[in-house]
């Protein structure tokens, strides 16, 4: 328990550094972006989003949507893929964004912290979904018990003529 608390505090301290932001180069993704757009990348104040902004360019990615944080790899036919220095990418379900940091230390700091925080955010999201499903099931069970209680009251009030009551109710619907 204390170990989990310490890990959470360490993650929060790392996240505070990312909230201050950094200037990086947003790599072209094949859309309308020019290669080498300078952006300010930061984590939102509540730690749930990664944002990047520049003149005419902005973007956001939910921390819980980030599936992978990995280095950008060079790809040629004649050599094995190797990591490109200072570059990393964020991979979400529907989005891939690549950045180039000012040096490898900044890259390593951002990659490790984002990876750790994204995993924690995804885990928290799953936990919230499970809690919501449990609450929903409890609500359904409560409504079912309430309906059975009301049915028992009606059956008690009509006595042995329960089937007559049901038949009369069905006839009145027609």
pLDDT for res 112: 84
Tens of pLDDT along 5-44? Answer: 777 777 777 777 778 788 888 886 655 455 678 888 888 8
The C-alpha atoms of residue 35 and residue 32 are separated, in whole angstroms, by 9
The tokens for 78 are: 């004649």
Choose which CATH entry (3.40.50.620, 1.10.240.10, 2.30.29.240, 3.30.365.10) describes domain 2-130: 2.30.29.240
Q: What is the pLDDT of residue 25?
A: 86
Domains of the chain, by residue range, sit at 2-130, 133-173
* pTM (two decimals): 0.59
Q: How far apart are the first and last CA of the chain?
A: 63
Name every residue whose Cβ is closer than 8 Å to that of residue 114 and which is 6 or more positions away in sequence: 18, 50, 63, 66, 69, 90
CA neighbor of 29 nearest in space, from 75, 96, 105: 96
Strands of the sheet containing 82-92, edge to edge, are 57-62, 49-54, 37-43, 22-26, 96-100, 82-92, 66-74
Integer Rg of the chain from CA: 28
Closest to 10 in 3D by CA, of 80, 112, 84: 112
pLDDT at 138: 94
pLDDT of residue 139: 92
- Chain segment 97-131, per-residue pLDDT in tens: 888 888 888 888 888 888 888 888 878 888 888 99
């Amino acid at each position: 328990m204390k170990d989990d608390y310490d890990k959470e505090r360490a993650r929060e301290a790392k996240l505070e550094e990312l909230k201050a932001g950094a200037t990086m180069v947003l790599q072209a993704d094949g859309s309308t972006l020019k290669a080498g757009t300078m952006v300010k990348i930061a984590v939102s104040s509540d730690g749930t989003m990664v944002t990047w902004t520049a003149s005419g360019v902005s973007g956001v990615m939910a921390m819980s949507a980030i599936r992978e944080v990995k280095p950008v790899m060079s790809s040629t036919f004649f050599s094995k893929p190797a990591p490109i220095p200072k570059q990393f990418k964020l991979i979400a379900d529907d989005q891939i964004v690549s950045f180039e940091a000012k040096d490898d230390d900044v890259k390593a700091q951002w990659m490790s912290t984002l990876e750790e925080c994204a995993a924690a955010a995804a885990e928290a999201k799953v936990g919230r979904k499970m809690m919501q499903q449990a609450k929903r099931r409890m609500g359904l069970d409560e409504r079912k018990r309430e309906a059975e209680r009301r049915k028992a009251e009606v059956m008690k009030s009509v006595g042995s003529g329960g089937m007559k009551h049901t038949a009369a109710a069905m006839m009145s619907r027609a």
